[in-house]
A and B are shown apart, each in its own frame.
Chain A
Amino acid sequence: AQSVTQPDIHITVSEGASLELRCNYSYGATPYLFWYVQSPGQGLQLLLKYFSGDTLVQGIKGFEAEFKRSQSSFNLRKPSVHWSDAAEYFCALSGGSYIPTFGRGTSLIVHP
């Protein structure tokens, strides 16, 4: 069975500070991994994805994520957070089926 764990329900950072959101997965092979962002009252938007190759993946809005097979992790990072980054962030895994597995989400709060 596959699973995704986002251990932090809420993360609070100051505007301009760096950000790292954690994502751990469980899957028997190399998964397809995704990060999505959801602004309040909106649908989810894909930030970035990892399928294979370079383990450091660049995404939209200045985000990046690093796939670490040894740690079963796919953490999302941003060097300097903007107030507009406040949102819900979801990590997801696809094991090659039609049905992805989503983490429960991490709510990012940005203080001015």
Chain B
Amino acid sequence: SQTIHQWPATLVQPVGSPLSLECTVEGTSNPNLYWYRQAAGRGLQLLFYSVGIGQISSEVPQNLSASRPQDRQFILSSKKLLLSDSGFYLCAWSSGQSGTDQYFGPGTRLLVL
């Protein structure tokens, strides 16, 4: 069966510090991968998605970046965090076919102080 992991689960970082959040998927190959952010009390905001290694599409311009160094690994990064980067970050995957359902990881709670 397929599983999706995210770490860390919780992170407290000072403003201006770097960020690296990791997401890995097991039990499937060539998944589509997604990063979402969920601010408190608000819906999902798609940040990045990837349909293959090295292929990253950005949905929202900001100080975050994403990379996909391996087929089942998706990394969200920042060189300098802003207060507004605080939120709940969710990674998700779907199968290679378009229009299929997504499977979400447990999320990472990020607090920037």
Please say whether chains A and B are actual partners in one complex: yes
Query: Which residues of chain A have a CB within 8 Å of any CB of chain B?
Result: 32, 34, 36, 41-46, 49, 51, 90, 92, 94-100, 102-105
Q: How many residues of B contact A (CB 8 A)?
A: 23
User: Most chain-B Cβ atoms within 10 A of its Cβ — which of A42, A51, A95?
Assistant: A42
Query: Which residues of chain B have a CB within 8 Å of any CB of chain A?
Result: 32, 42-44, 46, 49, 51, 59, 88, 90, 92, 94, 98-107, 109
List B contacts of A36 (CB < 8 A). 104
Name the prevailing secondary structure of the A interface residues: loop
List A contacts of B103 (CB < 8 A). 46
List B contacts of A95 (CB < 8 A). 99
Count A-B contacts at CB 8 Å.
54
Q: How many angstroms between the C-alpha atoms of A68 and B44 in the bound complex?
A: 25
- Which single member of A41, A51, A104 contacts B43 (CB below 8 Å)? A104
Cβ contact within 8 Å between A42 and B43: no
Q: How many angstroms between the C-alpha atoms of A5 and B107 in the bound complex?
A: 24
Cβ contact within 8 Å between A41 and B101: no
The 3 closest A-B pairs by CB, nearest first: A43-B104, A104-B43, A44-B104
Cβ contact within 8 Å between B49 and A98: yes
